[in-house]
Amino acid sequence: MQINPFASMYSNPASSSQPRQETAATGAGFSMTDQIVEIAGATPRSALRLAGGDTLLLPTPANAALMAEQAGAMLRDKMQQAGIPLSPDFTVQQSGQPPVLKVAGGRQDAAAIETMLNDDPALSRALHNASAVASMLPELAAASEVSAALQAAGSDAERQAIWGYHQARMATLRSDVRLEMRHGQMTVWVNGEQQMKHRA
């Protein structure tokens, strides 16, 4: 089964989040029974409860932070069950193709933690999904900026110059994603900037 890179940890239909409305986006792979839901910490109106029970989270900074937090909670529980200490802190990153999860931070038990990360399907999926969503953020931000600039442009020449700048920028755009586990809590960093959950 193909894993949707946007699928969050919220796969339980009994989640406390309340449905807001149904969507009619049947032509985009959705159905009439899919529902927009609100999830604490997620960007408002950015979560879609699929008919099968999984929840689709759109790629936003808040959603990446929320997914990392949930993945970190799973990792913390697994480490405690295995008797692996949470300290010292460490970083989880994807490496290689196909990507595997690697541990950085100088821990002597790094190999044991990496085995746990990659061998547990649910934990591995949660970490890969958080990384995947976070990795999209720089490109989406750049696309949003160029869209606003193009709309504000006053001439075709100005729009052409803006588009040329955007293409050159995209060619060098980087997406360095780190999942940092500190004191048993996981945060996500993109190009050195921490992504934060939504606060109402």
pLDDT tens for 96-144 read 888 899 999 989 999 999 999 999 999 999 999 999 999 999 999 898 9
| More confident: 13 or 149 | 149
pLDDT at residue 16, as a whole number: 38
Put the strands of the sheet holding 177-182 in their side by side order.
Answer: 100-104, 90-95, 177-182, 185-190, 193-194
pLDDT over 80 (residue 2): no
Q: How far is CA 118 from CA 47, 128, 182, in A?
A: 27, 10, 20
pLDDT at residue 33, as a whole number: 57
**What does the mean pLDDT of the chain come to?**
82
| More confident: 151 or 16 | 151
